[in-house]
Amino acid sequence: MKKKLFLFFSLAAIAVLLFSCTHDVALPEDPVDTGEPCDSTIVYFANDVLPIFEAHCAFSGCHDAQTSEEGVQLDTYVNIVTTGEVKPFKPGSSEVYEQIVENEMPPSPYEPLTADQKSIIEKWILQGAKNLTCTSSGTCDTTNVTYSGNITAILSNSCLSCHGASVYPDAGGGVNLSNYDAVKVVASDGRLYGSVNHDPDFIAMPLGLSQLPNCQIKQIKAWIDAGAPNN
Ligand code: HEC
């Protein structure tokens, strides 16, 4: 019985942390290229979401950098997620989505978003509001993988909500992925690749969420195989 109670409280604590601290981390400014051919079931921010905001919201007099109506600036990934108060996985608690569906943003005389466009934004948030891009050719570049260019972007998209500097002791089970030295530790002892590759000897990551796109796993492996350099 005690064990069950403990489990219950641990899970509750993880849930609270997961949903309270998602923006306590550096958001990726550049989209991560999945390196896979574009998959019609995935919403890619750069390909699918940003063009909607650019065409319908981020113009003069509304939500561009100059006007920034109500402090909401909808011109880049970071600005959309922060000033639009996007809560990953929770469209109903995301301010920008609420405004779109409930207050009919953009307001007249501008054209409202179509049902399709609303559903793309909803799906993007439901899938974790990540900053992804894909190329139709889908070539996975594993030749020049760098810590600063590739690895940090993957981690900040998919891992730092639990393994960030201020949250990792509790939300991330003590595994810190917020700086090079700490990442190097789990890269070298096999846990980083084992966990993202879902090897049975490791705990599958990202915890409770779907596996990283194949290309990102290959890029992590290529970087580790190269000695996990600080490049
Ligand atoms: C929802 C929160 C959450 C997310 C997101 C998450 N982790 Fe974890 N991670 C945890 C927790 C909690 C543990 C400790 C689990 C335990 O010890 O039972 C852990 C453990 C680990 C470990 C140690 C695994 C082992 O077998 O010892 C590694 C490595 C790791 N995470 C890497 C990652 C990477 C890389 C990502 C992103 C691709 C990620 N995590 C995303 C919560 C998370």
For the Cβ of 202 lying below 6 angstroms from any atom of ligand 1, the answer is yes
Q: Which pLDDT value is given to residue 17? A: 46
Which of 98, 133, 168 marks a domain boundary? 133
CA torsion 196-151-31-60 (nearest 10°) is 130
Across 41-45, 141-145, 189-193, 218-222, least confident range: 141-145
Residue 204 scores a pLDDT above 70: yes
Encode pLDDT of 152-196 as tens digits: 989 988 888 889 999 899 989 999 999 999 999 999 999 999 999
> Which amino acid belongs to residue 108?
S
| 34 within a domain of the structure (yes/no) | no
| 21 within a domain of the structure (yes/no) | no
User: How far is residue 73's CA from residue 63's CA, in Å, rounded to a whole number?
Assistant: 5
48: phi then psi, degrees, rounded to nearest 5: -110, -35
Q: Which pLDDT value is given to residue 12? A: 47
92 CA distance to ligand 1 centroid (A)? Answer: 27
For the Cβ of 196 lying below 6 angstroms from any atom of ligand 1, the answer is yes
Is the same domain home to 49 and 119? Answer: yes
Structural domain harbouring 210:
142-231
Is the same domain home to 156 and 225? Answer: yes
Is 57 in contact with 100 (CB distance < 8 Å)? no
41: phi then psi, degrees, rounded to nearest 5: -90, -10
User: How far is residue 31's CA from residue 135's CA, in Å, rounded to a whole number?
Assistant: 12
Split into its structural domains, the chain has a count of: 2
Is the same domain home to 118 and 97? Answer: yes
| 156 within a domain of the structure (yes/no) | yes
Is the same domain home to 147 and 229? Answer: yes
| 7 within a domain of the structure (yes/no) | no
Which of 133, 164, 195 marks a domain boundary? 133
Sign of CA dihedral 207, 212, 217, 223: negative
Sign of CA dihedral 104, 114, 29, 179: positive
- For the whole prediction, is pTM greater than 0.75? no
For the Cβ of 175 lying below 6 angstroms from any atom of ligand 1, the answer is yes
Sign of CA dihedral 50, 52, 56, 57: negative
For the Cβ of 56 lying below 6 angstroms from any atom of ligand 1, the answer is no
**Average pLDDT rounded to a whole number, residues 109-117:** 83
The candidate with the shortest Cα–Cα distance to 42, out of 28, 32, 56, is 32
- pLDDT band, residue 8 (cuts 50/70/90): very low
Residue 101 scores a pLDDT above 80: yes
| 30 within a domain of the structure (yes/no) | no
Nearest ligand 1 atom to alpha carbon 203: 26
82 CA distance to ligand 1 centroid (A)? Answer: 25
- Tell the residue number behind the tokens 């550096």, with chain if given: 26
Supply the mean pLDDT for the chain.
Answer: 86
Cα separation values, 38 from 45, 82, 147, 213, 219, Å: 12, 26, 24, 11, 18
Is the same domain home to 223 and 182? Answer: yes
| 29 within a domain of the structure (yes/no) | no
Q: Which pLDDT value is given to residue 25? A: 61
Which of 105, 133, 161 marks a domain boundary? 133
Q: Which pLDDT value is given to residue 194? A: 98
Q: Nearest residue CA, atom 17 of ligand 1? A: 173
Choose between 37 and 180: higher pLDDT.
Answer: 180
Query: And the tokens for 198?
Result: 């879902």
Nearest ligand 1 atom to alpha carbon 171: 12
User: How far is residue 60's CA from residue 51's CA, in Å, rounded to a whole number?
Assistant: 16
Is the same domain home to 57 and 88? Answer: yes
Is the same domain home to 224 and 147? Answer: yes
For the Cβ of 152 lying below 6 angstroms from any atom of ligand 1, the answer is no
Residue 19 scores a pLDDT above 60: no
Is the same domain home to 55 and 107? Answer: yes
Nearest ligand 1 atom to alpha carbon 186: 29
Residue 24 scores a pLDDT above 60: no
Residue 2 scores a pLDDT above 70: no
User: How far is residue 125's CA from residue 43's CA, in Å, rounded to a whole number?
Assistant: 9
- Tell the residue number behind the tokens 């939300």, with chain if given: 171
Is 222 in contact with 145 (CB distance < 8 Å)? yes
Is the same domain home to 160 and 229? Answer: yes
| 3 within a domain of the structure (yes/no) | no
Is the same domain home to 120 and 71? Answer: yes
| 154 within a domain of the structure (yes/no) | yes
The candidate with the shortest Cα–Cα distance to 229, out of 134, 122, 144, is 144
> Which amino acid belongs to residue 133?
T
208 CA distance to ligand 1 centroid (A)? Answer: 9
User: How far is residue 8's CA from residue 1's CA, in Å, rounded to a whole number?
Assistant: 11
Q: Nearest residue CA, atom 42 of ligand 1? A: 172
Is the same domain home to 172 and 99? Answer: no
Q: Nearest residue CA, atom 2 of ligand 1? A: 162
The candidate with the shortest Cα–Cα distance to 167, out of 16, 11, 5, 12, is 16
Ligand 1 pocket test: which of 160, 191, 205 has the largest number of ligand atoms within 8 Å of its C-beta?
A: 205
Is the same domain home to 46 and 119? Answer: yes
